[in-house]
């Protein structure tokens, strides 16, 4: 009862009424309902036919974050945010199916032939009454070091992004400001508000916990483990209106608080596993 396969998606349900929908395309969580409310933003203009990455929910960014680097060549040939979000994943295992909580593990297919590294990628999605956890497991099955960046690009639904307050980035945390041409700066520790386009990569966030007060009596706590960095993104009208798959004024209805390992490439020695996890609590 807790896990339903529809062909294109997997639906999770708990006895408390929480639910989640996961597209096998990109292992993208596209819906999370808790307390009777939808907690993830999904653009009404998003392609859901596997022709493009899904705009909203929680796309998986791997093995690069952002535009491709200039080298090595097999990474330089990748498209923005890598291939994991456009691969057809499969349901590998139902990890837990109990009235109070449901957990599944998805497996990614092998990487494209043009990316000659040996690794496995698994994704565990766990739903309980008030929490959604997603854990990315990367195992280097080759005989040499494997380098990657990874990030969980959640789109958290809020009633009005101009009214939210984001807490948890301690004073002194260094961030790269993509809006200001990758300028490095330091957080002043004050709550962050969305009063302009924000696209910042906070590096090694000490608390590994960010909260969003949505200004309407609820919000989110995003905790992360394994992942140390956190990108905070809202494009506002100037950038958002140029995105073909963004619904009208969509940027008013979400904020992205994206745990990841993206400040540099992570080196994973042969035979080792890296787990990057986020636990999102609906407040
Ligand atoms: O995580 C923030 C970011 O890298 C932004 O710079 C913005 O481009 C966003 O992701 C969306 O990227 P996408 O490739 O999905 O259009």
Q: How far away, in angstroms, is 69 Cα from ligand 1 center? A: 15
Measure Cα distances from 205 to 105, 115, 117 in Å.
27, 31, 30
* Domain span holding position 37: 3-282
Tell me which of 258, 264, 272, 273 is the catalytic residue.
Answer: 258
Per the structure, the count of domains in the chain is 1
| pTM of the entire predicted model | 0.98
pLDDT tens-digit series, residues 97-137: 999 999 999 999 999 999 999 999 999 999 999 999 999 99
Q: Supply the pLDDT for residue 213.
A: 98
Joined tokens for residue 249: 């004024």
Percentage of residues in the chain having pLDDT higher than 70: 100
Residue 253 among known ligand-binding residues: no
Look at residue 27 and tell me whether its pLDDT is greater than 90.
yes
Q: Supply the pLDDT for residue 1.
A: 65
Q: Supply the pLDDT for residue 215.
A: 96
Say if residues 86 and 53 touch (Cβ distance below 8 Å): yes
Q: Residue 178: CB within 6 Å of ligand 1?
A: yes
Taking residues 202-215, what's their average pLDDT?
97
Look at residue 82 and tell me whether its pLDDT is greater than 80.
yes
117 is catalytic: no
Q: How far away, in angstroms, is 93 Cα from ligand 1 center? A: 30
Look at residue 145 and tell me whether its pLDDT is greater than 90.
yes
Percentage of residues in the chain having pLDDT higher than 90: 99
Q: Supply the pLDDT for residue 184.
A: 96
Q: How far away, in angstroms, is 263 Cα from ligand 1 center? A: 15
Question: What number of other Cβ atoms are within 10 A of residue 58's Cβ?
Answer: 29
Average pLDDT, the chain: 97
pLDDT tens-digit series, residues 214-251: 999 999 999 999 999 999 999 999 999 999 999 999 99
How far is Cα 125 from Cα 14, in angstroms, rounded to an integer? 13
**CATH of residue 187:** 2.70.98.10
Residue 85 among known ligand-binding residues: yes
258 is catalytic: yes
Q: Which residues, including other chains, have CB under 8 Å from residue 49's CB and lie 6 or more apart?
A: none
């Amino acid at each position: 009862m807790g896990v339903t396969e529809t062909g294109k998606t997997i639906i999770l349900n708990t006895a408390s009424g929480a639910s989640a929908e996961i597209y096998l395309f990109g292992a993208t969580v596209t819906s999370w309902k808790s307390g009777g409310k939808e907690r993830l933003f999904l653009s009404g203009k998003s392609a859901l036919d596997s022709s493009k990455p899904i705009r909203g929910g929680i796309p998986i960014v791997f093995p690069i974050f952002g535009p491709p680097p200039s080298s090595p060549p097999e990474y330089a040939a990748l498209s923005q945010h890598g291939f994991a979000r456009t691969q057809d994943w499969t349901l590998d295992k139902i990890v837990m199916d109990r009235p109070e909580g449901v957990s599944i593990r998805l497996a990614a297919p092998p990487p494209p032939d043009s990316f000659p590294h040996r690794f496995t990628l698994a994704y565990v999605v766990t739903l309980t009454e008030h929490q959604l956890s997603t854990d990315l497991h990367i195992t280097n099955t080759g005989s040499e070091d494997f380098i990657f960046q990874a990030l969980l690009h959640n789109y958290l639904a809020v009633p009005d992004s101009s009214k939210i307050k984001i807490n948890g980035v301690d004073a002194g945390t260094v961030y790269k400001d993509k809006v200001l041409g990758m300028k490095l700066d330091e957080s002043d520790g004050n709550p962050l508000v969305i009063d302009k386009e924000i696209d910042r990569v906070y590096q090694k966030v000490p608390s590994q916990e960010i909260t969003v007060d949505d200004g309407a009596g609820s919000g989110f706590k995003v905790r992360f483990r394994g992942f140390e960095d956190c990108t905070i993104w809202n494009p506002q009208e100037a950038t958002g209106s140029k995105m073909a798959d963004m619904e009208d004024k969509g940027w008013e209805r979400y904020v992205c608080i994206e745990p990841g390992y993206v400040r540099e490439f992570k080196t994973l020695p042969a035979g080792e596993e890296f787990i990057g996890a986020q636990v999102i609590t609906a407040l």
